[in-house]
Amino acid sequence: MGSSWKLALVFAVLFLTGGLSGSVITYSVLRKQAIPNPTRNFRTWSDNLMRKLQRIGQLTPEQSARIRPRVEAAVKQMQSIQIQAMQQGSDALDAALAEIESGLNPDQQKRVERFRERRREFLQEAISRREAQR
């Protein structure tokens, strides 16, 4: 019975290790989810870039005011590039699906076509949301 305290100690250490590991993992997952995407809309994206430039470049308020229009123009251009990339990616996938459909039976072709239509609708909604955020 002299070793029962050792067994209790081992279980206590295992319990604490598991609790600590779980806490660290949960914190890291929640922290990643809680960070808002600064590229969601024009204002947050340009404000985020300006904050970074001000901090890194140690800009004066006059310098910040002078460069803000150029940063905002760059953000608008980056948003356009994102939308173009979404459309080009969609076109590439549509072309691949068109080739794939030729080797499928009629039921499978209908299913793939419905998939393509739903995906196009989703993409169009995503593009519309991005354009509205400009």
Planar angle of CA 7, 14, 3, nearest 5 degrees: 10
Confidence of residue 105 (pLDDT cuts 50, 70, 90): very high
Per-residue model confidence as pLDDT tens digits over 58-103 = 999 999 999 999 999 999 999 889 889 988 998 999 899 888 888 8
Q: Can you give the C-alpha Rg of the chain in angstroms?
A: 26
CB 75 within 8 A of CB 46: yes
> Which residues are CB-contacts of 74 (< 8 A; sequence separation ≥ 6)?
49
Per-residue model confidence as pLDDT tens digits over 21-67 = 888 888 877 776 656 666 668 888 899 999 999 999 999 999 999 99
